[in-house]
Amino acid sequence: MTEVIDFTQCERLPGRAYNGANGKKIAVRYDDGVWLLKFPPSAADRPTALSYTNSCLSEHLASTIANMIGLKSQETRLGTFTNGKTKVVCACRDFTADGKLLYDFCSIKNTVIDSETNGTGTELDDVLETIELQAFVDPVMLKEHFWDMFIVDAFLGNFDRHNGNWGFLVDPATRKAEISPAFDFGSCLLPQADDDIMRRVIENKAERDARIYTFPASALKENGKKIGYVDFIAANREGFLAPSLSRIVPRIDLDAICAFIDDTPLLTDLQRRFYKTYLESRYEALFRVK
């Protein structure tokens, strides 16, 4: 079983601020690196009525699985932090600690004057147009990354890949830009699922199918409606999604992913069964050609 890291005594690093709505965040120094600690949202922090008590687990599991699949993503560790109460936290290595600046896609989209909507708009045609018109990195390379990220998000059930949680790193000295690691995976793997929902997903096919075929949907939209992952991939499997599917799907090793989940600390037996069942079922629905 992987070691549980206690971050309580780590040096706190003031002056580093992080965006995002879900949960508190602090920066610490650990193992000669800078790490962002994400805490589970309290009741007062939750932007919706949903409970996100498993968001730290989802963040670590999904980020690590994305890296296992070959999508360059943030590095995470799972641990605890005690401040009166002991809480499970997800530590994310700060990939801007070397001085590079993060420009999210939202801010880049606002620089494209021909874009029909503002930076937060996730209409697919508008996003793709921005990818073509932006001048930070090669548009062909960026489009490949975008669709690879979409396929990984589909597998992980990410309902919140908005324009603020992917983008570019820019070296302020050279002004050279690169695609940043994918980050902010806390909305994957049904973070709102409590024990009752987990049991129903495991034991009841209808409950499981509802959480694969009906929701969660992508944050991307077509004609104002969120894109459903299963139908969208099925409709475009032989078209523009074919290159990304051929890159990503062969890298999905379900046995290795299940072994990783079994080796992850702080999970209950129910959670392990749930995550493995959910991912195996999503793989079958999304990528098995019927």
DSSP character at residue 249: G
Residue 152 has pLDDT above 60, yes or no: yes
Closest listed residue to residue 122, CA positions, set 158, 72, 91, 86: 158
Arithmetic mean of pLDDT over the chain: 90
- Please report, for the domain that includes residue 32, its CATH number: 3.30.200.120
Model's pTM, two decimal places?
A: 0.93
pLDDT tops 50 at residue 51: no
Residues 234-256: pLDDT tens digits? 999 999 999 999 999 999 999 99
Task: Look at residue 153 and tell me if it is in a domain.
Answer: no
Which sign does the torsion angle of CA 237, 104, 91, 85 carry? Answer: negative
Q: Name residue, tokens 């965040």.
A: 25
Residues 74-111: tens digit of each pLDDT = 999 999 999 999 999 999 999 998 999 999 998 888 77
Domain assignment present for 74: yes
Q: Which of 7-16, 220-229, 233-242, 269-278 has the lowest average pLDDT?
A: 7-16
Domain for residue 31, yes or no?
yes
* Residue numbers of the domain that contains 19: 5-93
**Within a domain: 30:** yes
- Could you give the percent of the chain with pLDDT greater than 90? 78
Query: Is 50 contained in some domain?
Result: yes
